[in-house]
Amino acid sequence: MKVTIKPLTQRKAWKALAVHHKKLEKLNLRQLFADDLKRGERLTVEAAGLFLDYSKNRITGETLKLLVALARESGLRASIRAMFRGEKINLTENRAVLHVALRAPKDASISVDGRNVVPEVHAVLNKMAAFSRRIRSGAWKGHTGKRIRNIINIGIGGSDLGPVMAYEALKYYSDHAMTFRFVSNVQRPKRPRLVAQGTRRQREGCGETFRGRLNQRREGIRVRH
């Protein structure tokens, strides 16, 4: 028998959260920390090398209970299991949601319509890795025959935010000879402008590097004299 779940805002737990939110609106974080000396320890979690501190949000133990109640009423656990089984939980497109397949190890098995999709996913991931290595090493040349140094990612929603987040987290370990930019919409005026900026900044970067080194030498001369 199929269980019908009410729209989000009509669920009992959601309505309880709305009432609870009104109570928290005027709460001050300083007061929350003063009332609970272990708040900074209690409202944190660590797993898989990541540390999440959510103590500096306007939430209490009651907030967490209500959120868990909403997850249960929404059938979250059952939806998670269905996603891992490869069931078509994307009702809009009648498709499986295969985010988990992108992170699955090679020997895992996630079946969609009777077919294990994990080998296909890893084949694409391997192609992406090979492509990235060729770009970073300079083996893949641009139209001019020179090394590619300017990369523009075009994406909407997660296809924009995901790459941006990864770049921001890892940019200090990246190849600083390359420039990365991100376009979060499909408007035509923005794309040519970014391309023009990339070309101009590459030229300006060379000039600034030369001028910077020249100024350093001049400053060095002044100091010594």
Pair (135, 160) in one structural domain: no
7 lies in a domain?
A: yes
- Confidence grade of residue 184 (pLDDT, cut at 50, 70, 90): confident
80 lies in a domain?
A: no
pLDDT: which is higher, 54 or 191: 54
83 lies in a domain?
A: no
Predicted TM-score of the model (pTM): 0.61
Pair (177, 215) in one structural domain: yes
Pair (154, 132) in one structural domain: no
Domain end, chosen from 39, 74, 109, is at 74
**Residues 94-136: pLDDT tens digits?**
988 888 898 899 999 988 888 999 999 999 999 999 999 999 9
CATH number, domain of 160, equals 3.40.50.10490
Domain end, chosen from 47, 74, 101, is at 74
For residues 149 and 178, the answer to whether their CB atoms sit within 8 Å is: yes
125 lies in a domain?
A: yes
214 lies in a domain?
A: yes
101 lies in a domain?
A: yes
Average pLDDT along the chain: 82
Name the phi and psi angles at 212, rounded to 5.
-65, -45
Mean pLDDT of 202-223: 41
Into how many domains does the chain fold?
A: 3
Mean pLDDT of 76-94: 90
Pair (166, 199) in one structural domain: yes
Q: Which residues contact 121 (CB under 8 A, 6 or more apart)?
A: 98, 101, 102, 104
Domain end, chosen from 74, 106, 128, is at 74
| Terminal Cα distance for the chain, rounded | 89
Q: Domain limits at 17?
A: 1-74
79 lies in a domain?
A: no
pLDDT reading at 225 higher than 50:
no
The letter for the amino acid at 224 is R
The Cα–Cα gap between 222 and 225 comes to 5
Pair (121, 155) in one structural domain: no
For residues 73 and 12, the answer to whether their CB atoms sit within 8 Å is: yes
pLDDT: which is higher, 29 or 188: 29
What tokens appear for 85 in the block? 């089984």
Mean pLDDT of 47-72: 93
Choose the weakest-confidence range: 4-18, 138-152, 188-202: 188-202
What tokens appear for 6 in the block? 């009410």
Pair (61, 106) in one structural domain: no
